[in-house]
Chain A
């Protein structure tokens, strides 16, 4: 039988290292993806995700299951991401969110274009990559809090009450925040959206 997150955390509190390992396995991918989409750097996202797990471990002795584990976990992650973005706001980051994917990198794109002339499949691949790049850039353009709200809502599938606790706002304020974010995305992705609506 699968133990719940809260039960695992209580077991960690009781001194069971295996339970911490299970939580690590369960949440490492969602956390890294959330942070990657927040800070736009894979390396930084991994560093922040590791810091999240370290903070969970440090807080084990004081842990009380008063809220859902995911609310607590993603609150730590969101705070770290927002702090990191604030700290790096005035620094020109050379590492782009697109860096890990070769097709997104400028030199990678050039190389891919050369190959695309010879292989029509790669041309199709390039179109798909351009779509993804456009979507990523649309998310990047969102204000930080709106971005966090969209990521938690869309990819982590947390409910409104959880997200509002993470972002420390009311549920109605969160719904307005999400509406404004989707409006921005709708405008930024207008060509793709128009094409999808026609179909």
Chain B
């Protein structure tokens, strides 16, 4: 293995994240390369230095702020949510339906037709007999000759 190929393996070697076969390969290179051995030691030192940084704890209000953000989220509605009426609309619709049914089933208090005072139309100016036009006033009934149209093809 060349020093160039160590570049992608050196850190994994330091962390012990290499596969057994790769580990052996790197170890073999390190046995014969002082520069890479030094680099491994330096990377180990860097890694140890990074461990010295303290871990901070979130502030006391952290969880409460997350809860507040979550609580402020609008509730998601499904695609079919619009089919579900809101309680107010459902209440108003039910009331209207009940009122319609109640009004429809109520007995109607109308007087019988016979008892109603129907208006009588009276007209003294109109004489039915004199206004009658007898059939004789009509034109003469057509004769048989009139019915035989010359254009009508005759039976032979």
Contact = CB atoms under 8 A, between A and B. Distances in A.
Interface of A: 20, 24, 28-29, 32-33, 36-37, 42, 46, 49-50, 53-54, 57-58, 61, 100, 131-132, 135-136, 139, 150, 153-155, 159-160, 172, 175-176, 178-179, 182, 185-186, 189, 192-193, 196-197
A20 B12 CA distance: 34
A29 B57 contact: yes
Contacts of A197: 38, 41-42, 45
A50 B55 contact: no
Nearest to B57: A29
**Residue in B7, B11, B46 with the greatest tally of chain A CB atoms within 10 Å:** B46
Contacts of B53: 37, 132, 135-136, 139
Contact of B66 (A24, A160, A179): A24
B92 interface: no
Contacts of A185: 46, 49-50
A77 to B, nearest CB: 14
A121 B41 CA distance: 31
Interface in B1-50: 7-12, 15, 17, 38, 41-43, 45-50
A49 B58 contact: yes
Contacts of B11: 153, 175, 178-179, 182
Interface of B: 7-12, 15, 17, 38, 41-43, 45-50, 52-59, 62-63, 65-66, 69-70, 73, 76
Given A28-B62, A57-B73, A132 B43 contact: no
A186 B50 CA distance: 11
Given A136-B53, A172-B8, A53 B73 contact: no
Contacts of B45: 189, 192-193, 196-197
Nearest to A185: B46
Nearest to B78: A61
A66 to B, nearest CB: 21
B94 to A, nearest CB: 29
A58 B73 contact: yes
Contacts of A20: 70
A67 B65 CA distance: 28
B49 A193 contact: yes
A33 B54 CA distance: 9
A50 B62 contact: yes
Contact of B12 (A46, A49, A54, A175): A175
B46 A46 contact: no
Nearest to B69: A54
Contact of B62 (A37, A46, A178): A46
Contacts of B59: 46
